[in-house]
Amino acid sequence: MTNRTAFVTGGSRGIGLACARALADAGARVVLAARDTAKLEAASATIPGSSWVAIDMASHESIKAAFAKAGKVDILVNNAAIAKDGLAVRMKKDDWDAVLAANLTGAFLAVQQVLQAMMKERWGRIINISSVVGESGNPGQANYVASKAGLIGLTKSLAQEMGSRNITVNAITPGFVETDMTAALAQERKDNLLAFIPLKRFGKPEDVAAAVRFLASEEAGYITGHVLAVNGGMYM
């Protein structure tokens, strides 16, 4: 990945930061993007040669400004996401709109920022981080699940549009991964989840990062439109 630039949204922590580190280790120049500039600065300091840009995935103007600052992008990892959970019968429209705007519309707008340069270069990698629940569904997360399922559909459509330009577009569906979010779960909830995971452990951010690194590589050049599950077998 030498001389390639990778742009990772949600890159200041968790899965995004692990992806950025893996891509940097593979030789890419990494640009971290997220909302919290203090966390971005701290994260970037741990990755030699990396840089960072502030981005709000719910704002078209912020997305355009961030990519303009980053310059030409060869590898896009759409990882940033928010959750505003609640049962559908009581879900506020604002909570639906906010999650779809950040998780799905924001990812689409990010893709639009990189396609022209990738088409001109006749090389590109777009990797959308979806979720196991985008395939299986999950009660209390209608908005989040819809956004993650939408990413899968977006991935497949883009893969068909961009294949002739040697741009691959793939999705990864992580299962339950050890992050700040899962750390806050009650032990009983964790035990219940582990019962449905054949590998009997939660994933690590590095498990997802390894899949991202592969899909971004030259070796994955004949893989596009694929949905790669990194979920320990909890959904097959």
C-beta of residue 166 within 8 angstroms of C-beta of residue 194: no
Residues 6+ apart with CB under 8 A from 81: 10, 102, 103, 129, 131, 144, 147, 148
Write the DSSP string, 144-157: HHHHHHHHHHHHHH
Report the alpha-carbon distance of residue 144 to residue 193 in Å, rounded: 18
Question: Can you tell me the distance from the alpha carbon of 28 to that of 7, in angstroms, rounded to the nearest whole number?
Answer: 10
Secondary structure element (H or E) that encloses residue 124, with its range: strand 124-129
* Residues forming the active site: 144
Q: Which amino acid is at 235?
A: Y
Main-chain phi, psi angles of 140, to 5 degrees:
85, 5
Burial of 68 (0-12, 13-18, 19+ CB in 10 A): exposed
Tokens (6 digits) for 180: 């700040």
